[in-house]
Chains A and B, each alone.
Chain A
Amino acid sequence: MSNAQRLNRAAPPSRSKPAGRGLAGLFSREFALIIPSLILLGFAMGYPLATIVERSVSDFPGGHGALLDNYRWFFDEELNRVVLLRTFRTAAIVTLACLVIAYPYAYAMTVVGWRMRLVMQAAVIAPLLVGTMTRNYSWVILLQDKGPVNDALGAVGLGPFHMIGSLSGVIIGLVQISLPFIILPLYASLREIDVRLMGAARSLGATPTQAFTRVYLPLSLPGVVAGSLVVFVITLGSYITPALLGSPQQSLLPQLVAQQINQLLAWGRGSAMGLILLGVTLLLLWLGSRASRWSSVLSNGSGGGR
């Protein structure tokens, strides 16, 4: 049993079942809360999903084919496999980079005074309100070969680097765009941690590092998981940023899907590609939530009820 699990049981924000859960009445009342979302999802996601599944097994280039031909095609083409792997690799890199940047920042937000906290919060919210397209435009300018970033690097004797149309450009853009999506949930979770526990650990003889890794870090994991999940998943689905900042050598699966459909009208193949991405992602998330009970944001309902 890991430290995380041991500590989880002792820590204050412990999860416990609401007592006196009435049978039928309570069931329906809480279920009612998800009905609006279910209607929206059923209408705007369920139907599209159904047509995507249908098309993936019924629409073939040239008119006809066997049921799973589009899926077979996907795995037969080396390019598709390469891009699928690249998609997950890029998402992992971006998530990791975001986490490394976001964690100290979110931590700092919990320890500074309220004035500074407001400023730090504003710095996170502002990019969200400005929108991704605006920031993509800016990155196109900043990262160009003779742009300000290369000028600055040149001034300290580095570069010039070719960033637009390379992996570094895409990653820089995606990280910057995703940062607010991880800082915010992370901060929400960090600020709930009772820092007195750290003091308690120290007074019981733990080094600062031990106090951090054994007390603070495990308690922060729900926020880490929620934020990383969001970043990982939005990177997997990103389409515009790699298109604007990258070259085909960095294109991710959503770009290939769009190409199949918008340029080639190959609906079946595009749909199959999308479903494969969805399937592999859900599988990874499920494995993640198995690997650590902390990671059970996705299956929170079943995890919490245990």
Chain B
Amino acid sequence: MRKSLWKRKGGWSAVAGVAVASVALAACGSSDDAGDGGSATGKRGGKVTIATYGGKTEDVMKAVYFTPEFKARTGISMSFDAPLDYAKLQTQVESGNIQWDMTSGDPYMAIAQCGTVFAKIRSDPAMFKEKYRDVVGDCVLPRDAGSFIKAYNAKTFADDPPSSWADFFDVEKYPGKRAVPSFYYNGIIEGALLADGVAPEDLYPLDLDRAFKKMDSIRGDLLVYNTLAQSIQQQVSGDVAMGIYTDSAAWQAADAGATIEPIWDQAFIYINLWTVTEGTPNRAAVDQVINYVLNPRLQTEAAEMWPVSPALKDAKQPRYPNELFKKYSLAVPEHEEVAIPFDQQWYADNYEELNQRFTAWISG
């Protein structure tokens, strides 16, 4: 009995060794303040934290908006947090300890929680492109827009390519898997109604019963993706006949070698926002940030890095880095013209019911 203790000791020191090694390696780790948002806010300068979904959005913000020039002009130091999470944001507001002064939120949530989670911002709808003006509201300040497009496998349908929502729902003529995001906010509900003969101007309020009935017709051919990475992978692997993707995801997939073609007709436009958190102690600094970022030149620059369309009316056409980028950019006038904005007010009023029905439909 006693002898085998040696072996046991071996096991123990193995773990201890690893633990010690990691402590040693981690010894240079920094601990910092709790990020409770800077108490001393002067007229100029200060500290503002913005939360985004991370990834490319944050990269573009750092490269275009919050540059050394921004710091020099405003004296404000920006910090970035990700991922944005509404439960986290609401907890901050309820407890009065605001960590995120600004967010890059979704319009439907900003409308639904205006005055409770999101603070009002003064803005002039006339500043923005006409197509985006309906969204502008008390708490909603557009930054730029992206869209959910349909894309099809160019190898499979080379001869007679699909071109409409009716084709998307026609699995006889265009057989194969339909890739769809797992979240309801992607245009498939609107698309089902369009395919079923509803006129674009009569879409809202959405007739959900009719839409889901139409959607049931392709239920057996669905390929649902949870993450952007999954969607890109599916497109590259080529097993998808047609799918609904964000324009930027389709662009990334095409860039990675996917043989896909976009369908811009009746794509659905979503708007990316600047939103301000209700009760932020750094409101003065936040207002300075907003003054700075509502700049057509910066919005155009952002649209040259990432396929989005500037929200301001005065923004110039971006210079596209290459043809592929242009092919997937909503900013191209011919693309924007045929795309339809989501009715965000309708989403704000109905998202709970919509989520329940869509989740049940897609995961049943």
Contact = CB atoms under 8 A, between A and B. Distances in A.
Direct contact of A and B (CB under 8 A): yes
Interface of A: 61, 77-79, 82-83, 114, 118, 121, 125, 129, 140, 144-146, 162, 164-165, 243-244, 246-249, 251, 256, 259, 261-267
Given A125-B14, A265-B113, 15 more contacts: A79-B360, A82-B363, A140-B233, A146-B238, A164-B233, A165-B224, A165-B230, A165-B234, A244-B230, A248-B224, A248-B226, A248-B359, A248-B362, A251-B363, A259-B359
Contact of B87 (A145, A246, A247, A265): A265
28 contacts: A78-B360, A78-B364, A79-B356, A79-B360, A82-B363, A125-B15, A140-B229, A140-B230, A144-B237, A145-B237, A145-B239, A164-B233, A165-B225, A165-B234, A243-B227, A244-B230, A247-B225, A247-B226, A248-B182, A248-B359, A248-B362, A249-B224, A249-B362, A249-B363, A251-B363, A264-B352, A265-B86, A266-B352
Contact of A263 (B113, B225, B355, B363): B355
Contact of A79 (B15, B225, B229, B364): B364
B44 to A, nearest CB: 35
Contact of A259 (B11, B239, B355): B355
B363 A264 contact: no
Contacts of B352: 61, 264, 266
Contacts of A264: 351-352, 355
A258 to B, nearest CB: 9
A245 B360 CA distance: 20
A267 B88 CA distance: 12
Contacts of A251: 182, 363
Nearest to B237: A145
B85 interface: yes
Contact of A82 (B225, B226, B238, B364): B364
Contacts of A83: 363
Given A77-B360, A83-B363, A114-B7, A265 B226 contact: no
Interface residues of B, number: 36
Nearest to A118: B10
A238 B362 CA distance: 20
B18 interface: yes
Interface of B: 7, 10-11, 14-15, 18, 85-88, 90, 113, 182-183, 223-227, 229-230, 233-234, 236-239, 351-352, 355-356, 359-360, 362-364
Given A79-B363, A121-B14, A256-B359, A262 B85 contact: yes
B11 A121 contact: yes
Top 6 A-B pairs, shortest CB-CB distance: A248-B363, A247-B224, A145-B237, A79-B360, A248-B182, A146-B237
B87 A262 contact: yes
Contacts of B11: 121
Question: Most chain-A Cβ atoms within 10 A of its Cβ — which of B7, B18, B226, B236?
Answer: B226
Nearest to B227: A244
Contacts of A263: 86, 183, 355
B241 to A, nearest CB: 13
B92 to A, nearest CB: 13
A244 B225 CA distance: 9
Contacts of A129: 18
A265 B91 CA distance: 10
Contacts of B356: 77, 79
A125 B233 CA distance: 31
Nearest to B7: A114
Given A77-B356, A259-B355, A265 B90 contact: yes
Contacts of A256: 359
Nearest to A61: B352
Contacts of A261: 87
Contacts of A140: 229-230, 233
